[in-house]
A and B are shown apart, each in its own frame.
Chain A
Amino acid sequence: EDQVTQSPEALRLQEGESSSLNCSYTVSGLRGLFWYRQDPGKGPEFLFTLYSAGEEKEKERLKATLTKKESFLHITAPKPEDSATYLCAVQARSSNTGKLIFGQGTTLQVKP
């Protein structure tokens, strides 16, 4: 069964304290792994798509990496505005609809 597990569930950081969020997955053939940011009361905002092990993508203070079993979202020198829930999702190659399977998310709080 295709599955996504994110850890930790919640993370509190001081401003400037770098850290990483983990997304472990099992899927019958990975088509893509997606990272989203979700603010309270809003829809998820697309951050990255990763397709193959070894791939990395960066956007401002965020860097996403991918291995055959997990993905990391590295946050460098976070700011309070980075506080949000970060969602990871996978898309199986076997899916002909592009269905995404989501993890439970990591809620990040960055204190000034």
Chain B
Amino acid sequence: GAVVSQHPSWVICKSGTSVKIECRSLDFQATTMFWYRQFPKQSLMLMATSNEGSKATYEQGVEKDKFLINHASLTLSTLTVTSAHPEDSSFYICSASRYGILNTEAFFGQGTRLTVV
């Protein structure tokens, strides 16, 4: 299957600092990528839809100024958690969809464990 690479796998940062997470589609072009947040033993919560060359679309309740999303190319989207606080500690996952003539497949990155201390 297709590969979506997410970096870093884990990061620990001090409260008040910013953290950038990268998501790359390695073997296909992704016009649209998605960012999710996952709490322990819960399902994925969509945070925003990242569109190449345009502004991201955020889900209700997600702070745009805290979670900055940039989709600079067809293979790279970044999520920056600004002025991080302990409550931002979570597992963040990106995904990218590959559209074919007959089918659509959505692939996920490995996830990033963010711990804010």
Q: Once the chains bind, are A98 and B104 in contact (CB under 8 Å)? A: yes
What's the tally of chain A residues with a CB closer than 8 Å to chain B?
Answer: 24
Instruction: List, in ascending order, chain B residues with CB within 8 A of A26's CB.
Output: none
Consensus secondary structure, chain A interface: strand
Q: Once the chains bind, are B111 and A98 in contact (CB under 8 Å)? A: no
Q: Once the chains bind, are B111 and A99 in contact (CB under 8 Å)? A: no
Q: Once the chains bind, are B49 and A43 in contact (CB under 8 Å)? A: no
B43 within 8 A of A: yes
Closest to A47 in B: B1
Q: Once the chains bind, are B49 and A44 in contact (CB under 8 Å)? A: no
Instruction: List, in ascending order, chain A residues with CB within 8 A of B104's CB.
Output: 31-32, 49, 91, 98
Distance (whole angstroms) from the CB of A48 to the closest CB of chain B? 10
Known: A43-B108, A43-B110, A104-B42. A98 touches B99 (CB 8 A): yes
Known: A87-B44, A97-B49, A104-B43. A45 touches B108 (CB 8 A): yes
B7 within 8 A of A: no
| Alpha-carbon separation in the docked complex, A3 to B101 (Å) | 26
Instruction: List, in ascending order, chain B residues with CB within 8 A of A41's CB.
Output: 91, 111, 113
B32 within 8 A of A: yes
Distance (whole angstroms) from the CB of A71 to the closest CB of chain B? 16
In B46-86, the 8 Å CB interface with A consists of: 46, 49, 51, 57
Instruction: List, in ascending order, chain A residues with CB within 8 A of B111's CB.
Output: 41-43
B6 within 8 A of A: yes
In A5-49, the 8 Å CB interface with B consists of: 31-32, 34, 36, 41-46, 49
Interface string of B94-117 (1 = CB under 8 A from A): 010101000111111111010000
Instruction: List, in ascending order, chain A residues with CB within 8 A of B95's CB.
Output: 43-44, 100
Beyond the given A91-B104, A98-B106, A100-B46, could you list 15 further A-B residue pairs with CB under 8 A, ordered by the A residue number?
A32-B104, A42-B111, A43-B4, A45-B108, A46-B105, A87-B43, A87-B44, A97-B51, A98-B34, A99-B34, A99-B46, A100-B95, A104-B43, A105-B43, A107-B41
Interface residues of A (CB under 8 A from B): 31-32, 34, 36, 41-46, 49, 51, 87, 89, 91, 97-100, 102-105, 107
